[in-house]
Amino acid sequence: MTKAELVGVIAKSAEVTKDKAAKALDAFETSIAKELKKSGKLVLVGFGTFSVVKRKAREGRNPQTGKAIKIPAKKVVKFKAGKELASKVK
């Protein structure tokens, strides 16, 4: 599903315009990003937990040449589905 398709589904279910649904989705994304930057963790009970984890620097391989390359350390966002969400997709 693309973001545009998600906006359409939200608009239809909430009976609002696609413009309002897009603004709400953008506000949701922005809020999550701000909270993760501030505290590193966001828990939405029943939905899941977003957290920031550090990946260590490591050595990889260039798939075209096979030459070893260094991959720098970085922070990535991790998501763990909550119990309710996990039970809905079984």
What is the Cα–Cα distance from 10 to 6, expressed in whole angstroms? 6
Q: Which residues of 17-38 are buried (b: 16+ CB within 10 A; e: fewer)?
A: eeeebbeeeeeeeeeeeeebee
What pLDDT does residue 7 have? 97
Model confidence, pTM? 0.77
Average pLDDT score over residue span 58-72: 95
Chain segment 7-52, per-residue pLDDT in tens: 999 999 999 999 999 999 999 999 999 999 999 999 999 999 999 9
Chain segment 43-56, per-residue pLDDT in tens: 999 999 999 999 99
Average pLDDT score over residue span 62-66: 93
Cβ-contact 79, 47 below 8 angstroms: no
What pLDDT does residue 90 have? 82
What pLDDT does residue 52 have? 97
